[in-house]
Structure 1
Amino acid sequence: MQTVTMNNKLEIPQLGFGTWQIPEGKAAYESVRYALEVGYRHIDTAAAYGNEESVGRAIRESGIDREKIFLTTKLHNNDHGYEQTKEAFQESLRKLDTDYVDLYLIHWPNPIASRSHWQDANRGSWKAMEEFVRQGLIKSIGISNFREHHIESLLERAEIKPQVNQIRLYAGEQQHKLVQYCKDKQMVLEAYSPLGTGGLLSSPLIKSIAEEVGKSPAQVCLRYDVQKGHVVLPKSVTPSSILQNKDIFDFTLNAEQMARLDEMENICGPTQNPDETSF
């Protein structure tokens, strides 16, 4: 599995299995278990997804050594702040039934619960996360849905720079300014919803390129972000799609195809402004 090196010199698999909107129970357990069986070694979940227990059970019962699986979870919006983060992280460890996580992210920079004091809340959370890194409970720490001003505020007090920013990225929504900013800060970009939550799969342009390269529209979408250097996190509960989404490292999009995708309009709707969300 192809990897990307983070600014702490640790590697993250460039293909991950996303679990957003996969409900706790049979669906989460079986999809993660199958993903691991067919070769995924990077699993992405979050406290807010409500499926950490099933994800943890699938990992535990897969028979694969824990050290060979890159596991990510995220801080819930209601748990920002130093003490709250310490409690929330321990609860995630309990639900996942693991001794450590490979990557822990602040899920949103400015949730309703801490909107009046988001800067201090984020700094408190980050301080707790840095302590967990030093204790060996977290290997890497990062952020999700953060924009430049959120990152600048965090960096004013941070002792460890974020290794990752997980944001909405796909053909038509590349957030160029933010991506370049993160690269300048030596952060890896993780692309969530790399298929536009399925909206890209009916695009005539993507279908045309898929025919040219003999691949599926989903594989073209994922390959596009991989060639941008991003980590991709496709989600599916369908075994055939889970398997197909893995096979994106045996072909390359040429410069002309990449340019056509670069020019694509966003057909899947605008990315939410994290300062205006209602959660």
Structure 2
Amino acid sequence: MTRSITDRIRLNNGTEMPWLGLGVWKVREEEKLIRSVRTALDYGYRSIDTATIYGNEAEVGKAIRQSGVPREELFVTTKLWNTEHGYERTISAFEESLKQLKLDYIDLYLIHWPVRDAFTETWRAFIKLYEEGKIKAIGVSNFQTHHLEEIIATSDILPAVNQIELHPRLTQKPLLNFCRNRGIQVEAWSPLMRGRLMDEPVLTELASRLNKSVAQIILRWNLQLGIATIPKSVTTTRIIENAGIFDFELSDEAMLAIDGLNQDIRTGAHPDFFDTPK
């Protein structure tokens, strides 16, 4: 059971990843981005999740350098965007991410979306970069079961992580079970459903009873399901609050009640219908 913000998950290749991270999606203002990353690192976060398409890799790198936290303590994730699929393009895109971040290596590099007829070739490039030691772990994002099966059928190296939209209205149990059975760690993006669950009675009742916030209840639910989580926030109080999930546990009854909120509702695109490059 995770009991500290310093606790880590051992991925299928032996790399250790923090359970809790900070997401920086849509944060483009440099001062705001640097302040939020610095706040997170000051309060014990060690995982920062960005992506090429977010347009803030350089700012994330700057915040990391300013923090004074040793590089080996940090876990930095970035992602390959859809227009950069293909073997050679992937290599170039990765090198550009390294340049923007001003890092010597990436801890976790993800295929952002499963672009049809492209991601298996892209995965070959990921493997090359991984074998060269430029990435500690490679994985995917927004992959459904059939996408994962395609990679498994064509490669001896499994994704270490599948980062997916997952929250109490979208529990993704079949996909979660598939990943568990194959040693692929699931990580939740948009775990708080972009703030749309703050008035949900099941959650507010649990929060009141346990003297916690609704956000803390949801994030704790993630952890007890064995799911890493990367809530996004630029608000200092919320970044600090989101870290307060290691000093309590949800009962089996509470876990089932939260599971029961599922309605298969997404805030983002469905991976099978996401726009892909022509």
Give the Cα–Cα distance (whole angstroms) in 2 for the partners of residues 163 and 4 of structure 1: 11
Which of 111, 127, 130 is 1:130 aligned to? Answer: 127
Tell whether 2:22 aligns with 1:14.
no
| Alignment partner, residue 33 of structure 1 | 38
Tell whether 2:186 aligns with 1:189.
yes
The 3 A distance-change label for structure 1 pair 266 and 26 is farther
Which segment is superposed worse, 24-33 or 50-59?
A: 24-33
Residues 165-211 of structure 1 show CA distances to partners (whole Å, capped at 9, x for unaligned) of 00011112111111111111110000111101111112121111001
Tell whether 2:247 aligns with 1:250.
yes
Would the aligned equivalents of 2:187 and 2:227 in 1 still touch at CA under 8 Å? yes
Between Structure 1 and Structure 2, the one with more helix by share is: 1
Shift of residue 30, structure 1, vs aligned partner: 1.3
Residues 128-186 of structure 1 show CA distances to partners (whole Å, capped at 9, x for unaligned) of 11111111110000000001111111222223110000001111211111111111111
Computed over aligned residues only, the root mean square deviation of the Cα atoms, in angstroms, reads 1.4
Residues 78-123 of structure 1 show CA distances to partners (whole Å, capped at 9, x for unaligned) of 100100000000000000000001000000002xxxxxxx23x212
Would the aligned equivalents of 2:193 and 2:267 in 1 still touch at CA under 8 Å? no
Aligned residue type for 1:185: R
Would the aligned equivalents of 1:199 and 1:267 in 2 still touch at CA under 8 Å? no
Shift of residue 278, structure 1, vs aligned partner: 2.6
Shift of residue 11, structure 1, vs aligned partner: 1.2
The 3 A distance-change label for structure 1 pair 152 and 53 is same
Give the Cα–Cα distance (whole angstroms) in 1 for the partners of residues 171 and 264 of structure 2: 12
- The percent of aligned pairs where both chains have the same amino acid is 44
Aligned residue type for 1:74: K
Give secondary structure in 1 for the equivalent of 2:215: helix
| Alignment partner, residue 58 of structure 2 | 53
| Alignment partner, residue 215 of structure 1 | 212
Give the Cα–Cα distance (whole angstroms) in 2 for the partners of residues 174 and 268 of structure 1: 9
Shift of residue 275, structure 1, vs aligned partner: 2.2
- The alignment's TM-score, normalised by the length of structure 1, stands at 0.94
Residues 221-246 of structure 1 show CA distances to partners (whole Å, capped at 9, x for unaligned) of 10011100000101111100000101
- The alignment's TM-score, normalised by the length of structure 2, stands at 0.94
User: Post-superposition, which runs of at least 4 consecutive aligned residues in structure 1 deviate over 4 A?
Assistant: 267-271
Which of 48, 51, 71 is 1:43 aligned to? Answer: 48
Give secondary structure in 2 for the equivalent of 1:104: strand
Which of 197, 202, 205 is 1:200 aligned to? Answer: 197
Identify unmatched segments of 5+ residues in structure 1. Answer: 111-117
Give the Cα–Cα distance (whole angstroms) in 1 for the partners of residues 147 and 100 of structure 2: 29
| Alignment partner, residue 3 of structure 2 | none
Would the aligned equivalents of 1:172 and 1:267 in 2 still touch at CA under 8 Å? yes
| Alignment partner, residue 152 of structure 1 | 149
| Alignment partner, residue 70 of structure 2 | 65
Aligned residue type for 1:49: Y
| Alignment partner, residue 177 of structure 2 | 180
Aligned residue type for 1:25: E
Residues 22-61 of structure 1 show CA distances to partners (whole Å, capped at 9, x for unaligned) of 1141221111111111110000000011110100100111
Give the Cα–Cα distance (whole angstroms) in 1 for the partners of residues 120 and 266 of structure 2: 31
Would the aligned equivalents of 1:163 and 1:187 in 2 still touch at CA under 8 Å? yes
Shift of residue 271, structure 1, vs aligned partner: 5.4
The 3 A distance-change label for structure 1 pair 84 and 178 is same
Would the aligned equivalents of 2:23 and 2:232 in 1 still touch at CA under 8 Å? yes
Identify unmatched segments of 5+ residues in structure 2. Answer: 1-5
